[in-house]
Amino acid sequence: MENSSNTPATLESVWEAFRETDRLLKESTARIERDLLESREEMKASREEFDQRIKKQEELAQASREEFDQRMKASREEFDRRMGAWGNNFGSFAEEYFFNAFDNGKQNFFGEKFDDIEKNVKGIKKGFKDEYDILLLNGQSIGIVETKFKAHENDIPKVLKKAQTFRVNFPEYKHHKVFLGLATMAFYPELERECTNQGIAIVKQVGDAVVINDKHLKVF
């Protein structure tokens, strides 16, 4: 049997092999680049879809928060409105209660007999606007009584200020003695002590009666 020998390589066959290898390499590189581009586009599309979903969720969450805030705001406003209405009703009740007590008591107060009694008197001088819940008047003295359903120590400066604003708003009484009183349905020890220290009369409800402590009064 005769042995066959390989055909000797020629320069042309070598170049042909190089060209074929280069072609295959380019095709492979193009295919890889195409696959990478498709992968990037798929990843971009997935990321955009993911971002859109997140944005949608954030928008829904923001809408829910805004709706919740609006409901809470509406609830607070309604609560404040009702509390304000109740507070006004309680305040009006206290004012009427103490006014009637003074009126029925023939206006005896601060150790004096007053000739007249007025309520809800307004002073309108610029910079001194004020309201005086109960005013007791005679030829030489003025009694100013601030009424509260439930007073607090923070109300004391407001009561003290009324002597000053009254003299400005009603200069015809500038030579009258001014006495101050605080009337409230509920006193507590610290409030009574502060009224005593400041020379303000204490007017309070005890049972069915109105009790007045004016022994410590000062003239304003």
pLDDT of residue 140: 92
The residue written with tokens 């997935």 in the block is 46
Q: Which residue would you say has higher pLDDT here, 57 or 192? A: 192
Range with the poorest average pLDDT among 23-27, 41-45, 78-82, 94-98? 78-82
- 148 near 91, Cβ under 8 Å? yes
187, 196, 146: which is closest to 166 by C-alpha? 146
- Calculate the average pLDDT of the chain: 81
pLDDT band at 88 (very low <50, low <70, confident <90, very high): low
User: CATH number for the 95-213 domain, one of 2.60.120.10, 1.10.1060.10, 3.60.70.12, 3.40.1350.10?
Assistant: 3.40.1350.10
pLDDT of residue 4: 47
| Cα–Cα distance, 1 to 3 (Å, whole number) | 7
Q: Which residue would you say has higher pLDDT here, 192 or 113? A: 192
The sheet carrying 141-148 orders its strands as 116-123, 130-137, 141-148, 177-184, 201-206, 209-213
Domain-by-domain residue ranges, the chain? 95-213
